[in-house]
Structure 1
Amino acid sequence: MGDIKNQLRKDLTTAMKQRDDFAKSTIRMALAAIQYAEVAGDEAHDLSEAEEIKVLTKEQHSRTESAETYAAAGRPELAEKEAAEAEFLGRYLPKQLSEAELTAIVDAQMAATEAELGAKPTMRQMGSIVKAVNEKVAGQADGKTVATLVKARINIG
Structure 2
Amino acid sequence: MSELKQRISDEMKAAMRAKQKDRLATIRMILAEIKRIEVDERITPDDARIVATLDKMQKQRRDSISQFEAADRNDLADIEQQELAVIKEFLPQALSEAELISIIDQAVTDSQAQSMQDMGKVMALVKPQVQGRADMGPISQLVKDRLTS
Task: State the TM-score bracket (shorter-chain normalisation).
Answer: over 0.9
Question: What one-letter code is carried by the residue in structure 2 that aligns with 1:31?
Answer: L
Q: TM-score, normalised by structure 1?
A: 0.89
User: Which runs of no fewer than 5 residues in structure 1 stay unpaired?
Assistant: 115-119
Q: Report how many aligned residue pairs link the two structures.
A: 149
Aligned-pair identity in percent equals 32
Paired residues for 1:48-87 under 5 Å: 48-87=46-85
Q: In the alignment, does 2:137 pair up with 1:144?
A: yes
SS of 1:93 mapped into structure 2: coil
Question: What one-letter code is carried by the residue in structure 2 that aligns with 1:22?
Answer: D
Q: CA deviation at 1:136?
A: 2.3
Q: In the alignment, does 2:19 pair up with 1:19?
A: yes
Contact residue 134 and residue 146 of structure 1 kept, 8 A: no
Q: What's the C-alpha RMSD, in Å, of the aligned pairs? A: 1.3
Partners of 1:139 and 1:84 in 2: how far apart?
A: 18
Q: CA deviation at 1:139?
A: 2.3
Partners of 1:97 and 1:153 in 2: how far apart?
A: 18
Partner of 2:146: 153
Q: In the alignment, does 2:40 pair up with 1:40?
A: yes
Q: CA deviation at 1:33?
A: 0.8
Larger relative contact order (C-alpha < 8 A, sep ≥ 6)? 2
Q: CA deviation at 1:111?
A: 2.1
Contact residue 55 and residue 131 of structure 2 kept, 8 A: no
Partner of 1:125: 118
Contact residue 58 and residue 84 of structure 2 kept, 8 A: yes
Partners of 2:2 and 2:137 in 1: how far apart?
A: 26
Query: Which structure would you say has the larger Rg?
Result: 1
User: Which runs of no fewer than 5 residues in structure 2 stay unpaired?
Assistant: none
Contact residue 37 and residue 55 of structure 1 kept, 8 A: no
Q: TM-score, normalised by structure 2?
A: 0.94
